[in-house]
């Protein structure tokens, strides 16, 4: 069993867990992920680690309670435990030969961008971080990012906090202002990453994207996380989760991620068999 030793509610649906997993914490590197089960009957959920502490023997996950399984996870409290935590899985973030990067996070993708940005900064790389959110109420991990990167920029779609606009607008401004990046790293909704890649292509800047996908075993056997990169089949679990964004078939990923949209939407409403009431999750 893997006990939750710390829980933080970052926003109305964003949750931070520190989990006892000493063997995983000893091997974990930025960019890697784990697969969890809350109990023996639960769905296997892949989540990028937001951090790890080898001395304490803990790993950190940050997730959004948006589907049935993650909504159930969000109800766990300190002292509760996961049935299984498997990892570290996937390839770690590459840092060799990189001196300066811009990391761009969109919405919940900022949780996944956090270990990448701070890990690269700890490796001596200069890191600019662009965080994008719909509005002020959804902003999270601001203090942690400010302490862990060189420069932090926050954008909101409605202008309620930081700069009004999209992450693509801010990235383009930074580039046109003369900032030279060896690499741009994008983490967020596929449509955001697609447009980030469109911006960087015009400036011939290598762009790495961290992908999430439908996943079952996490070892490359099931094929559920199959994507097309450079015209070839790749598997997010073993070949990724990071890929060259310019080679990714974005339309294919967007279509696959939307495949179970109706089922996920139905799972957001729980019909009580006793009262007949419907609970809707905002």
Predicted confidence (pLDDT) per residue in 197-240, tens digit: 999 999 999 999 998 877 777 777 888 788 899 999 998 888 88
**Domain end among 89, 121, 136:** 89
Query: Does residue 265 lie in a domain region?
Result: no
- When divided into structural domains, the chain yields a total of 2
Nearest of 205, 104, 188 to residue 154 by alpha carbon: 104
Residues 107 and 48 in one domain: no
Q: Is residue 224 part of a domain?
A: yes
CATH of the domain at 106: 3.40.50.80
For residues 174 and 248, membership in a common domain is answered with yes
Q: What is the pLDDT of residue 260?
A: 61
Which of 38, 55, 89 terminates a domain? The answer is 89
Specify if 62 maps to a domain.
yes
- 52 three-class SS: strand
Q: Is residue 63 part of a domain?
A: yes
Residues 20 and 110 grouped into a single domain: no
User: Domain span at residue 58?
Assistant: 2-89
What's the mean pLDDT when you consider all of the chain?
Answer: 88
Same domain, 137 and 199: yes
Residue 281 belongs to some domain of the structure: no
Is the same domain home to 147 and 37? no
Are 137 and 66 found together in one domain? Answer: no
Residues 84 and 109 in one domain: no
pTM of the entire predicted model: 0.84
Cα dihedral 59, 62, 65, 69 in deg (nearest 10): -30
- CA distance to 12, 55, 105, 130, 260, per residue, from 136 (Å): 12, 35, 15, 15, 29
**Ranges in the chain, pLDDT < 70:** 258-282
For residues 43 and 66, state if they share a domain: yes
Pairing label, strands 269-271, 278-280: antiparallel
Contacts of 117 (CB under 8 A, 6+ apart): 103, 105, 127, 129, 145, 148, 149, 185
Query: 205 and 172 in one domain?
Result: yes
């Amino acid at each position: 069993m893997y006990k939750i030793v710390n829980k933080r509610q970052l926003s109305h649906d964003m949750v931070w867990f520190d989990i006892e997993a000493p063997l995983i914490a000893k091997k974990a590197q930025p960019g890697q992920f784990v697969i969890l089960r809350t109990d023996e009957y639960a769905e296997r959920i892949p989540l990028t680690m937001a951090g790890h502490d080898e001395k304490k023997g803990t790993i950190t996950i940050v997730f959004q309670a948006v589907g049935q399984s993650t909504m159930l996870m969000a109800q766990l409290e300190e002292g509760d435990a996961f049935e299984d935590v498997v990892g570290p899985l996937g390839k770690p973030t590459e840092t060799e030969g990189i001196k300066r990067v811009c990391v761009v996070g969109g919405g919940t993708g900022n949780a996944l961008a956090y270990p990448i940005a701070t890990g690269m900064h700890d490796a001596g790389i200069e890191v600019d971080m662009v965080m994008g959110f719909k509005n002020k109420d959804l902003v999270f991990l601001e203090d942690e990012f400010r302490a862990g990167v060189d420069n932090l920029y926050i954008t909101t779609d409605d202008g309620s906090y930081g700069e009004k606009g999209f992450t693509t607008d801010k990235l383009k401004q930074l580039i046109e202002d003369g900032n030279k990046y060896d690499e741009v790293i994008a983490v967020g909704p596929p449509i955001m990453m697609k447009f980030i890649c469109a911006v960087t292509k015009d400036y011939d800047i290598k762009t790495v994207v961290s992908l999430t996908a439908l996943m079952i075993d996490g070892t490359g056997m099931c094929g559920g996380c199959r994507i097309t990169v450079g015209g070839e089949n790749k598997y997010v679990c073993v070949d990724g989760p990071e890929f060259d964004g310019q080679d990714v078939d974005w339309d294919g990923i967007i279509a696959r991620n939307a495949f179970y949209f109706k089922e996920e939407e139905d799972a957001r409403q729980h019909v009580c068999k006793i009262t007949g009431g419907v609970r809707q999750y905002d």
